[in-house]
Amino acid sequence: MLRVAPLSRPRAFCVARCVVSQNRRWASSRGGRNPPPWRPASTLDDWVDRPIRPISLRQLFFFGRTLTEGRLLSSANYVRMELPTSRLAHRLREMQRLPYVVVTNPHLSLVYELYYKSFETFRRVPVIRTLEENDEFCKLISDNLKEHLAVIPNLVMGVLECQDLVSPDTMDQFVQAMLRARISRRVIAEQHLALTDTFDSPWHVPQISSENEFVGEVLLRCNAKEIIERCGRFTQDICKSSAGVDPIVPEIRIQGHVNATFPYVLSHLEYIVGELLRNSVQAVMDKYKDTKIPPPPIDVLICEAPQHVVIRISDQGGGIPRDIMSYLWSFCKGPRRATRLQNFKDVPTLAATMQEMRDSSLSTLASRPPGLRLGMGLPMSRVYAEYWAGGLELHTLEGYGVDAFLQISKLGNQNEQLTSRASIDGV
């Protein structure tokens, strides 16, 4: 059924290594304006034609609950087939359709090359039949994940630089599709790595795990209140550390259905909640920094409905000015483009230093200093929220504060939304 690559195993890895060495050579010249090389389009055509098989959170955790060797290997083969198709090939094809002048932008051509390299690597991996082969495959995945840490900053910088070359809406749709595909790749790749870890751990017994636990990356019972408290403390600490002498950080109050739980990918939720709280805390601190009155608290409400959990974050940080409002969800529009572009230049180094601590690009972004405004927290949080069929809305009371509404689909039976909002490439 599966098309087995006509290459013996050692050769496959040899090819992969060749690509790596080629790339290293290319990487050394990445400061220059060299356009990405031409490659025959037919290989990509084959993969673009294959259907995507979207997954739901529920599938992710039911699959991982009773972990056996057979299941682990079929998970490996799912990742092996799924990564090159929709999730890489479609993105590559979409980039190829962008104007030449855009793809030759140094930042975007770096992204393009990284993608092409991954595509070439993964499409050549033959069927995984044994645990040893799986271990090698996992090594390949985690190297790849590390290498792609710089993609987001480069992508957004490239897009900001190319703003005048393509219509901003096209650019926004492009970035959203790229990010969605990136999330999806990381979800299935990290899930497989986590499953392998679980399987390899000495205390693993193949039985149904207890309820209050992770299955791979998915936390079965995310407790909204705990996550908000944890992200809140983290945000308060970060904002405190850079706000001069003895700043007063606003309190975060939580009310509503505080016992609500739902399955979710923890790092996604932490990222979204973290960004929203960060916006609120910073706005309140900015507004009250020169006054002696204590800043008003940030009110968080958790509302649990039969199918959704809604988290509402209300601050009194002065609201969003009208001229920014219409650019709020865009990656590349708006009057603050130049400062954002400058701020982005500092992110890649951040990504490099933080990556030793934890291999997640999200934690790098979450712990950036508060002065560094990238202007992509909201659009990116929305991409993450919509990915698992949720939503993110914002209402401003100009002159008073902002209410942010994060809606989460509670049952985990919604498929990942690979093509929501902008139907990108007709997959």
Partner 1 sequence: MLKAAVPRCPPLLQRRWQTHHSHQPFPPDIHQWSHPPSKATVSDDEISRLAAKPRRPLTLADLVKHGKPPLRDADLLSSANFTVSLLPARLAHRIQALRNLPFIVVANPNVSTIYNNYLHSLSTLEPFYKKPIETIEEEMKFTEAMADLVRTHSNTIPTMAKGFLQCRKYIDPAEVTKFLDQHLRARIGTRLVAEQHLALHMASTGEAAKQKPDPNHVGVIDLGLRPADVIRQCEGFVGEVCELKYGVRPSLVIDGDTDAEFAHIPMHLEYIITELLKNAFRATIESGNEREPIEVTIASAPDVSTTKLQALRKLSVSEENAYDFSQDGLEEYCSSSDADIGPLNSAAPCITLRIRDRGGGIPPEALANIWSYSFTTFNNEQAAAAGGDNGTDAGLNTIASSGSDQSSIAGLGYGLPLSRAYAEYFGGGIALQSMYGWGTDVYLTLQGIGKMEEAKRAPSGYEILQGEMAKKE
Binding residues for partner 1, per CB under 8 A? 256-257, 301, 303-308, 310, 312, 319, 321-323, 393, 395-401, 403, 405
- For partner 1, the closer of residues 255 and 349 by Cβ is 255
For residue 8, the cross-strand partners are: none
Q: How far is the CB of 396 from partner 1 (least distance, A)?
A: 7
- For partner 1, the closer of residues 62 and 400 by Cβ is 400
Question: Is residue 91 a contact partner of residue 16, using CB atoms and an 8 Å limit?
Answer: no
Which residues 6+ apart lie within 8 Å of 251 measured at CB? 297, 298
Q: How far is the CB of 255 from partner 1 (least distance, A)?
A: 10
- For partner 1, the closer of residues 99 and 321 by Cβ is 321
- For partner 1, the closer of residues 326 and 423 by Cβ is 326
Which residues 6+ apart lie within 8 Å of 217 measured at CB? 60, 187, 190, 191, 194, 265, 266, 267
Q: How far is the CB of 173 from partner 1 (least distance, A)?
A: 20
Q: How far is the CB of 319 from partner 1 (least distance, A)?
A: 6
- For partner 1, the closer of residues 284 and 376 by Cβ is 284
Angle formed by the axes of helices 69-82 and 131-147, nearest 10°? 40
Q: How far is the CB of 299 from partner 1 (least distance, A)?
A: 10
For residue 403, the cross-strand partners are: 314, 395
Largest distance between two CA atoms of the chain = 73
Q: How far is the CB of 403 from partner 1 (least distance, A)?
A: 6
Question: Is residue 125 a contact partner of residue 137, using CB atoms and an 8 Å limit?
Answer: yes
| The token pair that represents 129 in the structure block | 């039949």
Tokens 């008003």 belong to 296
- For partner 1, the closer of residues 123 and 312 by Cβ is 312
- For partner 1, the closer of residues 257 and 373 by Cβ is 257
Q: How far is the CB of 371 from partner 1 (least distance, A)?
A: 24
DSSP 348-365: HHHHHHHTTT-S-HHHHH
Question: Is residue 287 a contact partner of residue 319, using CB atoms and an 8 Å limit?
Answer: no
Helices and strands in the chain: count of H runs, count of E runs: 17, 8
Question: Is residue 354 a contact partner of residue 150, using CB atoms and an 8 Å limit?
Answer: no
